[in-house]
Amino acid sequence: MTESYDLIVIGSGPAGYVAAERAGEAGRRVLLVEREPVLGGVCLNWGCIPTKTLLNCAKIFHYAGHGQAFGVSATPQFDFAAAQARKQKVVGQLNVGVAGLMKRAKVTVVTGQAQLVDATTVAVGDQRYSAAHILVCSGSRPSRPPIPGLDLAHVVDSTGILALERLPQSLVVIGGGVIGLEFAHFFASVGVAVTVVEMLDQIAGATDLDCARTLRQALEQHGITIHTQARVTAITAEHVAFTDRKGQDQQAAADCVLVATGRTPNVEGLGLEQVGVALERGRIVIDERCRTNVPSIWAAGDCTGKALLAHVASRQAEVVVAAMAGGPDRMRYHAVPAVIYTTPEVACVGLSEAEAKAQGRAVLTAKLPMSVSGRFLAEHDDRGLVKVVVDAQTRALIGVHMVGATCSEMIFGAAAMIESQARVDEIKQTIFPHPTVSEVIREAMFALR
Active-site residue numbers? 434
Q: Is the peptide bond before 328 cis (omega within 30 degrees of 0)?
A: no
CA 200 – CA 175 distance, rounded (Å): 9
According to DSSP, the residues that pair with 254 across neighbouring strands are none
> Beta strand pairing status for 338-340 and 346-350?
antiparallel
Distance between CA atoms of 187 and 58, rounded to whole angstroms? 8
Nearest alpha carbon to residue 360 among 388, 391, 332: 391
What is the chain's percent helix, strand, coil content, to nearest 5? 35, 25, 40
Residues facing 243 on adjacent strands: 231, 249
The per-residue DSSP string of 127-164 comes to: EEEEEEEEEE---EEE-----TTTTSTTEE-TTGGGG-
The 3-state secondary structure of 308-321 reads CCHHHHHHHHHHHH
CA dist 187 and 195 (Å) reads 10
80-104 and 48-65 helices, crossing angle to 10°: 140
Rounded-to-integer distance, Cα 422 and Cα 100, Å: 39
